[in-house]
Structure 1
Amino acid sequence: MTTIGGVSRPLRIAAAAAHFGRDLDRGLEKALGIVAAARRGGIDLLVLPHGTLGGYLSDLEDPRSDEVPPALSADAPQIAAVAAAAGPVTVCLGYTEVDVLHGYPCYFSAAVCLTGDGVLGRHRKVHQPAGEAKVFSAGDGFTAFDTPVGRLGMLIDYDKTFPEAGRSLALAGARTIACLSAWPASVTDRASRLLADRQSRLFDLYDSARAAENQVVWVSSNQTGIQGNLRFLGQAKVVGPGGDVLARTGSKGALAEVRLDVEHEVTRARRTLHHLAERRSDTYR
């Protein structure tokens, strides 16, 4: 049983592989359907892909400013609609966020965690691949926060390439890390089969490595299908604190779902070798 707010109960965790495009209304309708099904099925934590509301870029090599996905404010009615549908389910989803800074609109790859009670936490993608920085601004930090399913942190796709990102959340007490992705196959060295693609291998490698090195539960969602020049991998999964993949999807839309006692599994993983406690930060440069 996982102890949450003094009450022990098992958790059902699901990571989604699904296609969400540029049509906001259609994306919202699809998201609401997945959330409603998760609620009926007793899911406690549902992690949807990055770009759930509004999709993602069509080109990573040379994206144009007029190709920014439909952008939402932090308090957009679409986000409120998902919260209302979520009820007791903790839901993480990604979207493009617009914010006015210094008098100019800035766009961020953003994620929000919510329940029927409202927003629990937010994240703006810090690390930007290829040409993404031409159209998006970067976030500036990593924050863990308390939720009905325990202390949690969020990352957005390329963030997971950097060990410091997951480590920052683990040091802030996150027992579960949700990584929301719109992660495509290689744009420079395409393989005939997705499973043979270099990015497919790296996507899986980072999921297991980040879970194992931080001894946390890692919930990895991803887009599927095609958007412009990008072919998304799917491969959603839930990874245990030992780096073992507990459930996963293929390249098509599906949920990777497990029933897991997060607190017990994390505590057990750290019983003999406690990576966070045994760090030698005085020697790191």
Structure 2
Amino acid sequence: MTSTAFCIGGDLEVRRLGFGAMHLPTEPGPDRETSLAVARRAVELGVTLIDTAYLYGGGASEELLAEALHPYPDGLLITTKVGVARSGPSGEWRLDGRPAVLREQVEQALRRLRVERIELLQLHRIDPETPLADQVGTLRDLRAEGKIGRIGLSEVTVDELNRAREIVDIASVQNRYNLLDREHEPVLAACEAAGIAFLPWRPVAWGTSGAKAEVASVATELDATPTQIALAWLLDHSPVILPIPGTARIDHLEENLAAERLAMTPAHRDRLDRLLEVA
């Protein structure tokens, strides 16, 4: 039986199937009201891991989640990301891992989320123009100050992960990964070996018609949707995978979370594992 829980950093237990807030509209109006309802419904359904980032609306997503869920129930982890800022020549978004920028973004995230400590803070991307030691070192300092509980990385290679781990403990990695996109399998393997949580972004994506047909076939056999099959495969593929599918609809949210109850046979798993050979 696939475990439904994981301890991030070895001590912070969450339900493995979480929720990604990237797709929640934040502008005032009916769509925002729906976003608030979706976030609340996620928690009602037992979600304990919600992923957001400063990049999602320049902090608007963090404010939305606080409005929807604060005061937070015990056991709820809202993880956010820093390291992308409007600091380009014309105010466009760009990677910015300068220590002062990271520190300011963490301070603002604490205020928007209405917390004194962010239990899991992830570096959204490594800024190639700032030494890695300065970026990860700043997060290490913030952890020492009690403003961060655990540190994660996003879109990293095995080498970058290893270099970062020489500076500070890394509790999570958030890379692009799904049934038909396994480019970061070596990173997943490194996380599994070290007990690091692996949060795949874009956990559901479809490739060629042949691959889609095979997923649809497995879905029919298990009385599930193709999306549920993709999520169930992730949960089954590695015990450190924590999928965070996002949606702005309650029915899709409920569909996603029901994937946790699917029980794939070894034969189904083998068929899905081989998909990349034909995709």
Same fold (TM over 0.5): no
Structure with the higher strand share, 1 or 2 = 1
TM-score range, shorter chain: 0.3 to 0.5
Larger radius of gyration between Structure 1 and Structure 2: 2
Query: With structure 1 as the length reference, what TM-score do the two structures score?
Result: 0.44
